[in-house]
Amino acid sequence: MDLTPSDEQQLIIDTVRRFVREEIVPLEAELDPDAGALAEADQQRLVGKVKQMGFYGLDIPADFGGPGLDVTTRALMAIEMSQHRAGLYNPCYGTFGGAGLAQLYEATEEQKEKYLYPTLRGELRGCFALTEPSGGSDPARAIQTRGYQDGDDWILNGSKLYISGADKADYALLFARTSDDPGRNGVTAFIVETAWPGFAVRRVVHTLRSTHYATEIQIDDLRVPAGNVLGEVNRGFAIANDRLSRQRIPYAAGCLGAAIKAQEMAIEWAKTREAFGGPLAGKQAVQWMIVDNEIDIRHARWCILDAAQKADRGELFRTEAAMAKLVASEGASRVVDRAMQIHGGLGMTKDLPLERWYRELRIRRVGEGPSEVQRLIMARELLGGSYK
């Protein structure tokens, strides 16, 4: 496998890297260490720059007016875009634009007109409401929100937990059990508007992460027209599952970006900070931490690009995406932890981004499927057929 970027990819990497270092990082110095947004004027100015660069809406498929990037190039960009304080959960503060919920590209034309296109124009926001208090790792069996038919409509009741952005969303892609099948064949996806009676965001769920928070949703007799079923009735889990696999590659790449930046900071600090008559870089204990960091970084990079290249070749990449997600999130956690250790007291403070990455990376080992579920996915494939 060749990990060397093409000339075109290298040009993109250099462009994004310069954008992060020259435009994003200087603004961050003036923001709260936990900030999740730029000042509106800065946001608009940078969106304009990204549009000039031709990268705006980079996750929008080419058929819908996006730049049509392949998965590998997108992953290489994600590695660069996360190399700043807010980069893990808000890479470049959203200045590269959103693509809406990926599932809506499979919607009916009427649904696209009502929800997808306004989202791409920045007029509407959506959220993805899958996880429930009964569990998130095995959603096919955990979903207890129920839906039953009432004439041409559906009536939904239940609750959702850890849903990002529901308080600011205009609509939600919400999954409910619509048959007696206790597994994946009894779940339907609905597009529900958050202003409809019966949809309430009850609270912010406070976590280690202070911005980009999650919320809890309560659904009471929420009436949904049949035209707002996404895909087929009782086949909604496939829609949810498809997203979970695809998301893992850029998710892993974001973790790697933070790890690379932490390693860069650790090396710079080790070379300049003196203790016991010489720089930290001269101490074997520090050298080994730097080397262990690099092993984690290169391992993650290999797994991410392997998964991305398989996806680009049209091959199955479920195991590779799971491996990339696991290796990158766990490896980046170790890298940031060691970088904090090398920085000593300074590493614990909000003066550096390390403590924010440390908290947010802890969530990354659970978000988009915990490490144990990634291992389960890989084990199924390894044990499900002949080993090649």
User: Is-catalytic flag, 368?
Assistant: yes
Q: What tokens were used for 67?
A: 């730049």
Spell out, one character per residue from 126 to 165, where the chain touches other proteins: x when CB under 8 A holds, - when not. Answer: ----------------------------------------
Listed residue (125, 213, 134) closest to 176, CA to CA = 134
For other proteins, the closer CB: 18 or 202? 202
Q: Which of 28, 320, 360, 368 is catalytic?
A: 368
**Shortest reach from residue 257's CB to other proteins, in Å:** 22
Q: Pick between residue 158 and residue 250 the one whose CB is nearest to other proteins.
A: 158
CB closer to other proteins, 28 vs 368? 28
Distance CA 350, CA 364 (A): 20
Residue appearing with tokens 């579920």: 373
Give the whole-angstrom CA distance, residue 20 versus residue 92.
7
- Is 193 a binder of other proteins (CB under 8 A)? no
Q: Which is nearer to other proteins, 40 or 152 (CB)?
A: 40
Helices (H), the chain: 7-19, 25-28, 40-53, 71-81, 109-111, 117-120, 139-142, 236-272, 284-312, 318-343, 354-364, 371-383
With respect to other proteins, which residue has the nearer C-beta, 49 or 202? Answer: 202
Binding of other proteins by 380 (CB under 8 A): no
298 near other proteins (CB under 8 A): no
Does 36 bind other proteins (CB under 8 A)? Our answer is yes
Q: Considering the rule CB under 8 A, would residue 203 count as an interface residue with other proteins?
A: yes
User: Cβ distance 364 to 88 under 8 Å?
Assistant: yes
Tokens of 97: 């634009």
- The helix (run of H) or strand (run of E) holding residue 215 is strand 214-225
Could you tell me how many residues of this chain bind other proteins (CB under 8 A)? 24
d(CA 353, CA 47): 24
Among 200, 238, 348, 376, binds other proteins (CB under 8 A): 200
DSSP secondary structure letters along 16-58: HHHHIIIIIHHHHTTS-TT-----HHHHHHHHHHHHHHT-TTT
107 lines the binding site for other proteins (CB under 8 A)? no
Is 202 among the residues that bind other proteins (CB under 8 A)?
Answer: yes
Residues near other proteins, by CB under 8 A: 31-36, 40, 167-168, 194, 200-204, 206-211, 213, 215, 350
Q: Which residues are catalytic?
A: 368
